[in-house]
Amino acid sequence: MKTVITFGTFDVFHVGHINILQRAASLGDTLIVGVSTDKLNFEKKGRNPIYTEYDRMKIINSLRYVNLCFPEESLEKKAEYIKQYNADVLVMGDDWEGKFDYLKEFCDVVYLERTPSISTTEIIEVISSN
């Protein structure tokens, strides 16, 4: 049995998120998703997500190819989460290419291509300009 783990904010959930989660799930038998907390997001991006962490986790939890999701409290805790959940593979979008190679001592690290032409930031910009 192979366990895959991935992380993200998944704010204003869109098809790019679906695509990466589906591809991540297809790399193993179990998919575990760490969802960034509102606090972590504020530290990373200087703004709060549109959807709260509770709603973002509820959306991720409702996907049939996600087996479990948990709050990701710190970017630096990835090694801890990988060990805690016995993950065999870490999947990240290629916007993070190379950034998590140091975790290769704990599991395989795979970067998947992002879906072009869609992002939470662009969706927010389009909505607020209308």
Contacts to ligand C2G from residues 43-72, by CB under 6 A: 72
Compute the C-alpha angle 68/9/58, nearest 5°.
45
Rounded CA-CA distance 7/15 in Å is: 16
Binding mask 108-127 for ligand C2G (x = CB under 6 A): ------xx--xx--------
Report, in Å, the least distance between residue 95 CB and ligand C2G: 5
Question: Beta-strand (E) ranges in the chain?
Answer: 3-8, 30-36, 68-72, 89-93, 108-112
How many residues belong to the site for ligand C2G (CB under 6 A)?
Answer: 19
Determine if 93 is a binding residue for ligand C2G (CB under 6 A): yes
Rounded CA-CA distance 85/81 in Å is: 6
Report, in Å, the least distance between residue 124 CB and ligand C2G: 12
- Binding test (CB under 6 A) with ligand C2G, winner from 3, 4, 5, 7: 7
Determine if 30 is a binding residue for ligand C2G (CB under 6 A): no
Virtual torsion, Cα 124, 126, 129, 130, nearest 10 deg: -110
Which chain residues interact with ligand C2G by CB under 6 A?
Answer: 7-11, 16-17, 19-20, 36, 72, 75, 92-93, 95, 114-115, 118-119
